[in-house]
Structure 1
Amino acid sequence: MDWNRTKSIFIFVFLILNIFLYWMYLNRYNEAQSVEILGEKTIEARLKDDNITYGPLPNSNVSATYITGEVHIFKNTAPNDNQKVSFTDDTHTQISAFFTNPVKLRNIDDASLIDFVHSNVKSGDSYALWEVDREERVAVFYQKKNNRMFYYNDSALLKVHWNMDNEVIKYEQTMIDNFEEMEQQETVIPPLQIFQTLYNKTLLKPDSSIKQVKLGYSTFSNLKATQVLIPTWEVHVKLSDGEMEEYFVDAIDGKIIEIQGDKQQGEEEDWGVE
């Protein structure tokens, strides 16, 4: 008996058998996946069934990374002669600036307020307008990096106050500087998967409309002098009764982040996308 020939035949047979078994495994896996896809609706279909609408979405192939920054220490100097600066505490990390001659605004609108900040506030072009409260006569700005806002960050905050004559009388400011980005860039979770996360947690209600989906930063670690900021999706939703709700989701890990003023907390459980 030619043992070498017999051994070669056995090896060939086993190779063919392994290929066949692997082919069978792939067929069954693909069939199971097909059944699962057919049995489970996509997030687009679920939103459509619940009459939840949304407009054009941001680019899904966006990269971002964690960044760190230091809380700025202000000096007792004003940007111009029309301002008097004082510190709110001994750390010199927050200032109040009062105008000797209040600055008249043409209108209380976004463009006028932004122009004022760019012209009268230290590093004013690094702040983005968040909201305008006409009843309280105050506009809230938060600092930004790479055109992405630092949501509800009290260390990167600017408040502009005006009187009944539309004259700016003072502002309060905090700031972060000396930024460093982590070398490793991460592809952020696409907006539709963020919708899936919110939908699975019943946060997207029927007959609502997703008005804004924007990428910014939230605070991961807030120490006295240093902060770690994480890429975060901001989602604004208009309910059927006209009320607005806002949600924040970690753009890397997909966790919903609870932000309330200077308090911020991530979920203990990872609400990943199904």
Structure 2
Amino acid sequence: MLLDWSRIKTIFILTFLVLDIFLAIQYYQKRSSDQFDTIAESSIEEQLKENDITYVSLPKNSLKESYISGNSKDFSKKVMEDRKGQDIETYKDVLQSRLKKPVPIAKTNKIPFLENFVKEYIWNGGSYRYCQIDQNSKTIYFCQTYKDRLIYNIESSVVEIKYNDKNEIYAYRQRYLENLKEMVDKKNIQEALPAIKAIENLFVKDELKPSDRITKVDFGYYTVIPLSTGVKFIAPAWHIVVNEQQDYFVNAIEGQIIKIDKEQWSE
């Protein structure tokens, strides 16, 4: 019995020794990883500073996101209700409207005015939010939203509002994605790249030049794989604007970069 107790004590001592070593290794690895992450983050910030590249305040909270999917709405399959003072034509996934009487754009508080216009004149207008304006083509863009985030894709989910030289809205074109849903279970949702990592990707790929200004950083979605069936696979993405004119979308899960020229917003 005494011998058995001695063996048991030895086994306990060895077990706790192995456990202590394992925990020590885990602690060291985590500490080293944290230190590496801090060094890497500081490094990109220092490199941006050395190149006189400035950026707006970045979101600090971590995000867990997944790809989403949806399909283009077929407007031709639904008899659209008469919209106030509009001549409407539908072409499968596109609805086009010409106002019988142009609507003057307010000189002040333009964004709230436009938001009210979209809700009043456009089918399911509450699903869209102001995106940007192209003064060259006289087009105002409203992007569809998912979970209150913009889906940036002119080919599938945008309202294009046209105005004339008198600043009057005279027509619009609408596209819409329906049946939007996440493609994985909540337990499998991945942690998104932080905003500084998305900027680092641009810097490493030589998309940022000395003295560039990053003038906008926000989180949304961008279509990556449109299929002939109308289904769109949509990636969570960081929308980064450089010098107030160049748009980039950085896949927030895999890091790929999509560069959008101004002309693409006017197609």
Tell me the number of residue pairs that the alignment of Structure 1 and Structure 2 aligns.
254
Would you say the 8 A contact 2:246–2:262 is kept in 1?
no
Which residue of structure 2 aligns with residue 234 of structure 1?
239
1:225 counterpart letter in structure 2: G
What is the Cα-based RMSD across aligned positions, in Å? 3.9
Does 2:103 correspond to 1:103?
yes
Matched, 1:77 2:73: no
* 1:41 CA displacement: 6.0
Which secondary structure state, in structure 1, belongs to the residue aligned with residue 153 of structure 2?
coil
Residue 60 of structure 1 contacts residue 188 of structure 1 at CA under 8 Å; is this kept in 2?
Answer: no
Alpha carbons 1:154, 1:262 under 8 Å: kept: no
Give the SS at the match of 2:188: coil
Per-residue Cα deviation, 1:60-119 (whole angstroms, up to 9, x for no partner): 31222211112112134245241121123xxx2111112222223323833322221121
Q: Check the 8 A contact 1:78/1:85 in 2, yes or no.
A: no
CA distance in 2, matches of 1:141, 1:124: 9
* Structure 2 gaps, min length 5: 1-5
What TM-score, normalized to structure 1? 0.75
2:221 counterpart residue number? 217
Alignment match, 1:139: 140
> 1:203, CA displacement in angstroms?
1.8
Greater share of residues in helix: 2
- Residue in 2 aligned with 1:94? 94
1:244 is matched with which residue?
245
How many Å apart are 1:38 and its aligned residue? 7.7
Counterpart of 1:110 in 2: which secondary structure?
A: helix
Larger radius of gyration: 1
Q: CA-to-partner distance for each residue in 1:162-184, whole Å, 9 max, x for gaps?
A: 23333221111111111122363
**1:262 CA drift (Å):** 11
CA distance in 1 between partners of 2:36 and 2:118 (Å): 57
Matched with 1:129 is 130
1:42 aligns to what SS in structure 2?
helix
1:160-217 alpha-carbon deviations (Å, 9 max, x no partner): 1123333221111111111122363222111111122222222222222221111111
Aligned to 2:198: 194
The unaligned stretches of length 5 or more in structure 1 are: 264-274
| SS of equivalent residue, structure 1 residue 117 | helix
8 Å contact from structure 1 (residues 152, 259) kept in 2: no
Compared with structure 1, are the counterparts of its residues 186 and 39 closer, same or farther at alpha carbon in structure 2 (3 Å cutoff)?
A: closer
